[in-house]
Amino acid sequence: MLTALRFSEPSPSERGAFPFAIPALTGLGTLPLSDPVTFFAGENGSGKSTLLEALAIVARLPTVGGEDAARDDSLSAQRALARTLTAVWRRRSHRGFFLRAEDFFGFIRRLARMRTEMKARLEEIERDYRGRSALAKQLARGPALGSLAEMRARYGDDLDANSHGESFLRLFRSRFVPGGLYLLDEPESALSPQSQLGFIAMMREMVDEGGQFVIATHSPLLLAVPGATIYSFDRAPMEEVAWSELESVTLWRDFVAAPERYLRRLWPER
């Protein structure tokens, strides 16, 4: 289990540049991460995803559906941040993965494309091997059939045919390994409120099997997980806060209680 993240000072030339100038990331020493579930919360641009990406690099976790963070050309600043971080482990785990919402949607499209290509290959073999022996046709069909069977066993018949929430939950369960570290960037992007509740139930099962989660999110639903540690990136430097103290939770609660109070300013009647 990951227990903490230690920050060291960047070089003088890096100190005033992104991402070291992000207010939430300044003046930090050691960030405890010993609870099974830790949330990074804050507004867009507050640095929560940046730190999560740097953590994925430090932990050397694979990225589901995208290029690994350590090699992603768009994450050079995050790699600079990662060089100033040290992960502290109670028990080093190489299990788990890093998943961003945009990579998830790309992964679903890639699976659909691969399935279409494999089916087209089977049709091509039917044409090319017409009149040849059954054994020759069977051997030619083997790789494509094997790939389709493997995708079906791991992800079901057609992830693309499911709702985004169903696909996300199926994908996550298919890739879960007990005792792994799971870094998730805004998973609520793929989940309806009902699916978020389903994901919370799934997280509970996975925590019971030794799984650990660090999640960057805006979702008041996910942030309400009992016993989770929440770090607010809207503070400088970031600090642990209670769920009820989060600005997003306060806004959400006030809006639900009296939406007309907000909407009469945002959407005035003509």
- The residue from 135, 160, 185 where one domain ends is 160
Structural domain that includes position 127? 105-160
Domain count, the chain: 2
**Beta-strand relationship, 96-100 and 239-240:** unpaired
| Residue 202 and residue 218 in one domain | yes
Q: What local confidence, expressed as pLDDT, does residue 164 receive?
A: 57
The reply to whether 251 falls in a domain is: no
113 three-class SS: helix
Report CA-CA distances (Å) from 143 to 34, 140, 249: 44, 7, 51
Q: How far apart are CA 89 and CA 72, in angstroms?
A: 25
Residue type, 47: G
Lowest mean pLDDT among 48-62, 102-116, 248-262: 102-116
| Residue 9 and residue 62 in one domain | yes
pLDDT interval class at 49 (50, 70, 90): very high
Q: How far apart are CA 177 and CA 14, in angstroms?
A: 37
Model confidence over 113-130: pLDDT tens digits?
A: 677 777 778 888 888 888
Name which residue leads in pLDDT, 241 or 142. 241
State the average pLDDT for the chain. 85
| Residue 70 and residue 114 in one domain | no
DSSP string, 204-254: HHHHHTT-EEEEEE--HHHHT-TT-EEEETTSSS-EE--GGG-HHHHHHHH
The reply to whether 259 falls in a domain is: no
| Residue 137 and residue 197 in one domain | no
| Residue 67 and residue 148 in one domain | no
